A and B are shown apart, each in its own frame.
Chain A
Amino acid sequence: MASEYILELQNVSKRFGSAIALRDVTLRLRRGEVHCLLGDNGAGKSTLIKTLAGVHKPSSGAFRVDGAAVEFESPRQALDRGIATVYQDLALVPLMSIARNFFLGREPVKTRFGVFPALDTATMAEVAADRLRNMGILIRDANQPVGTMSGGEKQCLAIARAIHFGARVLILDEPTAALGVRQSFNVLKLIHHARDQGISVIFITHNVHHAYPIGDTFTLLNRGVSVGTYAKDAISKDEVLDIMAGGTEMQKLMSELDGVAV
C-alpha cells in the first residue's frame, strides 16, 4: 500500500444546481486515526461525508482510496470497499424489523431445500440483538419494527450496523446527537475500540467534550470551505471550542451573556 492515507479528497467541490455545498475541500484520512469534522449547521459536513460514502459524486476534484482514484457510482461500492457510514438521518426503514434493517443490503442467505436462497432470519435476529446489547440497548424482540424504537435506540442501531460492516473506515455523522450519557459514552468507547483495531474514523459532532478527547485530527468547515486541518498536539481544547463556537465574536457575546446572568 503506497499511500499513507486511506481516504483522500483533493480540491473537491459539490454543487446542487446553483447552490455550492462544498468548494475546493481537501481532506486526508490517515490509517487508524480519528478525524473530527467540525463546523456550523449547513457548513457542508454531511455533504462531505456523503461524497465519501458514495451517495454524491463530486462535481469536481479528486477522490482517492488507498492512493488510487475512485468514482463510486453508489453507496454499495463504498460499502464493498469497507467504508461504512452512519448517516445523520440514520438510513433506517421504520416499517421494517430491527433485524431486517440491521442487515439491509447485506443479508445473510442460507440455501433451503437445496435450491431456495432464503434469508437466514435466525442469524439476523441473533446478531442484531447481540450487537445492540453490546451498545447497552436491550430489545424485546429483533422482529419488532424500527418505528417503535426511541430516537436514541434507533441511533444505536445505525451505529451498531456500521460498526459491524465497516471493515476499514467508519464515518459517523453526529452519532451522539440523541443519545443519553451512557450511550454517548459507549459510542466514544466504540470509536476508541475501532481505532485500536486499525479502523479509521471520521467523526462529526457539535460537542467538543466528545470531539476533543477522542480526536487525533480536526478539520473545520465553514460555509463549504475548509478552514484548516489541525493535529491534536497543535491545538488546545479551548481553541477547538473557539473554532466550533465561531471565534472571538462568539466569546465576546458569551461573556456579555454571562455578565447579564451575574
Chain B
Amino acid sequence: MSRQPLIAIKEPVADASAAGTARAAAPERDDRVQQQSLLHRFMGRPESASIAGALLVFAIFGYAASGSGMFALDGILNWQTVAAYLGIISIGACLLMIGGEFDLSMGSMIGFAGMMIAIPPLYFHWPVWLSVLVAFVGCLALGWLNGYLVIKTRLPSFIVTLAFLFILRGLSLALSIHFTNRTIVSGIGALAAEDWLAGALFVGTVGEDLFNWLAAHGMVAMTSDGTPVVHGVPKVILWWGVLLVCSSLVLSFTRIGNWIYAVGGDANAAKNVGVPVKAVKTSLFMFTAFCACLFATLQVCDIGSAAADRGLQKEFEAIIAAVIGGTLLTGGYGSVVGASVGALIFGVVQIGITYTDANSDWFRVFLGLMLLVAVIFNNFVRRRVTESR
C-alpha cells in the first residue's frame, strides 16, 4: 500500500478571489494559535483537573495532619501502598473506559483470583508459581469471555460484566467452601516467600540495602533494634509505576493507543476505516482481567491469605479513580496518568483521615463529592470538544 499522495495538486486549488478570502481569514486564525499558552495546553489535558485536585488534597492534609507522621517516610509508603493497589486496577479500568466499555467484574475477579492462587498450593501441593500462572491464564480467559459476550450480544458491557460480578463472587464463595470448608484461606505467605517466582516478583519490598544505608547515616528513622522503620519500597508500588509508564506510552504514542481512543470515541467510524474494533475491545477486557489478577497476586503474597470477599467494590473504586482522573464515562477520552492521580487521591484521603482527628466515615463523603465535581467538570470538557463551533 502506498502512503504517497495520490493526487497532489501543485497549483493553488482556489482561484485568485478565493485565495484572497482565505488570506483574509488567516490572520484571525494565527492570533488564536499564539493564544495557546503553556497553561492553556495543560488545561486541555484530561488529567489537569485531577492534578489540581491532588494538590488541594495534599494541602488539606498537610495542614490537618501536620506533625502526625503522615508525611514521614513510613507514612508516605503507607498511603502510597493503598494508592498503588488501586492504581493498578484503575489503569486497567481507565483503558477499558477509554475504549468505551466497563468491567464491573474486576472486584469479584480479585477475590476469585486470590482463591485460585491460594487453594492449590495449600490443599493440592502445587508449587506457588504454577498456581499464580494458572490464575493469570484463568483471569485472561475470563476477560476474553467478557469481551466475547459483549461483542457477540451487543449488550452494554455494564450488564454483561454485572453478571460476572455475581457469578465470580458466588463461585469464590462456593468453591472455597467446597474445597476448604472455609471462606478465608490462610498460610500461603511462607510458601509464596519461598517460591522463586512469587518471591522474586510479588512478595515484600525492594531497596532494603538502600534503606539500611540511609538508616545508618541517620536519614531514615530506626527502631530500637537498629533496623530502619521502613524496610524497603513495597513491590506493589513498583508494579504500579511500571504499569503506569508502559500503559501511558502505549496510549499516547502507539497505533494501539490510537485505536483504543478510536473504538471508544466512535466504534463504527473506527471499524469503517479499518481499525480491528473487536480485537481491540477484547484485548482491553483481557487487560483489566490481568490487572485484577495482578492486584490479587500482590495482595495474597502480602497478606498471606486469600478471602472470598476480597476486592469487594473495588470495581467502583477503580472506575471512580479513572473518572476523577478525567476519563469520560462515555469513552474516547481520558488518561492513565489521570487515573493514577485519582488513585493517589484515594490513598491520601483514605489513609490521611486516620492521621487526623476526623472520623474516618468522612472518607466516603469526601470521595463522593470529588466524584461529583469530576463528572460535572468532565462533562463540560466533553461538550467543549465535541460541539461544533
A-side residues, CB < 8 A to B, are 53, 55, 74-76, 79-80, 82, 85, 87, 89-96, 100, 103-109, 116-119, 121, 127, 131, 134-136, 138, 140-141, 145, 147-151, 161, 163-167, 182, 186, 189-190, 193-194, 197, 199
Contact = CB atoms under 8 A, between A and B. Distances in A.
Contacts of B7: 163, 190, 193-194, 197, 199
Contacts, number: 155
A35 to B, nearest CB: 18
Given A95-B385, A106-B1, A186 B14 contact: yes
B33 to A, nearest CB: 6
Given A119-B254, A134-B13, A182-B14, A91 B273 contact: yes
Contacts of A85: 272
A119 B272 contact: no
B122 to A, nearest CB: 41
A104 B29 contact: no
Nearest to A170: B6
B9 A134 contact: yes
A96 B254 contact: no
Contacts of B385: 94-95, 145, 147-148
Given A95-B332, A149-B388, A186-B13, A140 B29 contact: yes
Among B1, B13, B333, the most chain A Cβ lie within 10 Å of the Cβ of B13
B18 A182 contact: yes
Given A118-B253, A147-B387, A106 B274 contact: yes
A75 B274 contact: yes
9 contacts: A75-B271, A82-B1, A96-B262, A109-B255, A116-B249, A116-B253, A119-B253, A140-B32, A147-B385
Among A94, A109, A116, A117, the most chain B Cβ lie within 10 Å of the Cβ of A94
B2 interface: yes
A56 B3 CA distance: 26
B272 A53 contact: yes
Contacts of B13: 134-136, 186, 189
Contacts of A136: 13-14, 18, 22
Interface string B252-276: 0111011101100110111111111
A94 B274 contact: no
Contacts of A161: 273
Contact of A151 (B271, B275, B388): B388
A167 B385 CA distance: 32
B39 interface: no
Contact of B274 (A74, A134, A151, A190): A74
Given A96-B265, A109-B255, 19 more contacts: A74-B271, A75-B272, A75-B273, A79-B273, A80-B1, A91-B269, A91-B273, A93-B265, A105-B259, A106-B3, A119-B253, A119-B255, A134-B9, A136-B14, A147-B385, A150-B388, A151-B388, A165-B6, A190-B9
**Minimum-distance CB pairs A-B, first 10:** A76-B274, A105-B274, A93-B265, A147-B386, A91-B269, A91-B272, A105-B273, A95-B332, A118-B253, A95-B265
A93 B269 contact: yes
Nearest to A189: B13
A54 B254 CA distance: 26
Contacts of B276: 74, 76
A194 B6 contact: yes
Contacts of B26: 138
A93 B262 contact: yes
Interface in B224-282: 249, 253-255, 257-259, 261-262, 265-266, 268-276
Contacts of B257: 119
A77 to B, nearest CB: 8
A65 B249 CA distance: 40
Contacts of B6: 163-167, 194, 197, 199
A51 B372 CA distance: 45
A53 B14 CA distance: 31
Among B7, B29, B32, B332, the most chain A Cβ lie within 10 Å of the Cβ of B7
A133 to B, nearest CB: 8
A129 to B, nearest CB: 12
B254 to A, nearest CB: 6
Given A75-B273, A92-B269, A94-B385, A138 B1 contact: no
B272 A55 contact: yes
B22 A96 contact: no
A106 B273 CA distance: 9
A89 B18 contact: no
B275 A104 contact: yes
Interface string B5-31: 111110001100010011001100100
B359 interface: no
A90 to B, nearest CB: 8
B389 interface: yes
Among B266, B271, B272, B333, the most chain A Cβ lie within 10 Å of the Cβ of B272
